């Protein structure tokens, strides 16, 4: 990943944490939302001034703002650094953060592993290797040592001729907001209509809709107060 992409991902992560739409954040920092979108995709680099504004809007308190600024400007420094050294710079503390995330993740939900185990049992290891999902990886997932992303769950469901919806529900990969806000029937219908899309597109759609529902939920709560 390039430093531009890393910076973009970090901004997006915080924007979503705050439940802001691109438009909302754009308004707050006085730029067109498309500019922010490009920055988040790592296709453009922000100015120092804009980056400071972003840190201010995205942080919840002063302490966080300070940390965020530090991380933001570190990436910006990498972006502006000469090509030869730009990817060699390392941000202190980044590794520790990653480790923490890994520890928090336990095995996948039992209901999912049960169904997956049954489906895997009737197939040969080559079946998975040929489909581009190494069998060894699936074993590790079954042993609770590794995780499947949502995209991989969708891929596997298609591969096994299973209902994608069922797999996703069991893997707890259908966000809670879906059922809370749409109701069960709408969720099922939505998943049916997404079925024709390739796994990566379906994954994109689900996370896009999740973000939107979360944001709307938040707005709802704040107007109720």
Partner 1 sequence: MSPQEIDTVRVYARAVLSKLGIKEPPVNILEIAEHFKAKVVFSDRFPDDVFGCLLPLKNGEFVIVVNVFTSDTRKIFTVAHEIGHLYLRHHIVLDKFYSQKRLQSSALAQLDNAKGKMERLANVFASELLMPKHLVKRYYGLLRGDIDKLAEVFMVSKEAMEIRLEELDLLRG
Q: Can you say whether the dihedral through the CA atoms of 139, 142, 148, 152 is positive or negative? A: positive
Toward partner 1, which CB reaches closer, 22 or 91? 22
Nearest to residue 14, comparing CAs of 1, 49, 29?
29
CA distance 171 to 165: 10
Query: Based on CB atoms, which residue is closest to partner 1, 117 or 192?
Result: 192
Residues 159-218 that bind partner 1 (CB under 8 A): 180-183, 185-186, 188-190, 192-193, 197, 200-201, 204-205, 207-209, 211-213, 215-216
**Distance separating alpha carbons of residues 138 and 51, to the nearest angstrom:** 41
Applying CB under 8 A, among 23, 35, 137, 191 the residue interacting with partner 1 is 23
Q: Min. distance of Cβ 183 from partner 1 in angstroms? A: 4
State the DSSP code for 83. Answer: H
Q: How far is the CB of 177 from partner 1 (least distance, A)?
A: 11
Q: Is position 34 an interface residue for partner 1 (rule: CB under 8 A)?
A: yes
Closest approach, Cβ 181 to partner 1, in A, equals 6
**Interface of this chain with partner 1, residues 39 to 58, rule: CB under 8 A:** 40
Q: If binding is defined by CB under 8 A, does position 10 make contact with partner 1?
A: no
Total residues interacting with partner 1, rule: CB under 8 A:
31
Compare residues 124 and 201 and give the one whose CB is closer to partner 1. 201
- Closer to partner 1 by CB, 124 or 193: give it: 193
| Pick 57 or 74: Cβ nearer partner 1 | 57
CB of 51 to partner 1, least distance (A): 19
Instruction: Give the list of residues 6+ apart from residue 16 with CB closer than 8 angstroms, or none.
Output: 211, 214
CB burial readout 178-191, b (16+ within 10 A) else e: beebeeeeebeebb
| CA 170 – CA 14 distance, rounded (Å) | 28
Nearest approach, Cβ of 131 to partner 1 (angstroms)? 22
Q: Which whole-number Å values give the CA distances from 192 to 67, 90, 150, 163, 197, in the listed order? A: 43, 44, 16, 9, 10
Angle between helices 199-224 and 150-160 (to 10 degrees): 130
For partner 1, the binding residues (CB under 8 A) are 21-23, 33-34, 37, 40, 180-183, 185-186, 188-190, 192-193, 197, 200-201, 204-205, 207-209, 211-213, 215-216
């Amino acid at each position: 990943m390039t430093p531009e992409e890393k910076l973009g991902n970090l901004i997006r992560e915080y924007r979503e944490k705050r439940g802001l739409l691109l438009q909302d954040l754009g308004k707050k920092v006085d730029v067109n939302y498309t500019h922010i979108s490009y920055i988040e995709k790592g296709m453009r680099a922000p100015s120092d001034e804009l980056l400071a504004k972003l840190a201010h809007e995205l942080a919840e308190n002063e302490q966080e703002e300070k940390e965020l600024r530090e991380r933001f400007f570190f990436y910006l420094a990498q972006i502006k650094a000469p090509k030869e050294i730009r990817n060699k710079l390392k941000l202190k503390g980044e590794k520790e953060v990653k480790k923490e995330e890994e520890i928090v993740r336990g095995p996948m939900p039992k209901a999912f592993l049960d169904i997956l185990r049954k489906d895997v049992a009737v197939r040969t290891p080559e079946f998975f290797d040929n489909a581009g999902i190494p069998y060894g990886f699936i074993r590790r997932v079954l042993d609770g040592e590794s995780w499947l992303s949502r995209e991989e769950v969708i891929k596997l469901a298609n591969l096994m001729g299973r209902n994608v919806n069922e797999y996703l529900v069991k893997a707890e990969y259908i966000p809670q907001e879906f059922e809370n806000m749409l109701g069960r029937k709408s969720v099922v219908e939505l998943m049916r209509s997404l079925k024709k899309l390739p796994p990566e597109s379906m994954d994109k759609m689900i996370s896009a809709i999740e973000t939107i529902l979360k944001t709307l939920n938040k707005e709802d709560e704040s107007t109720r107060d």
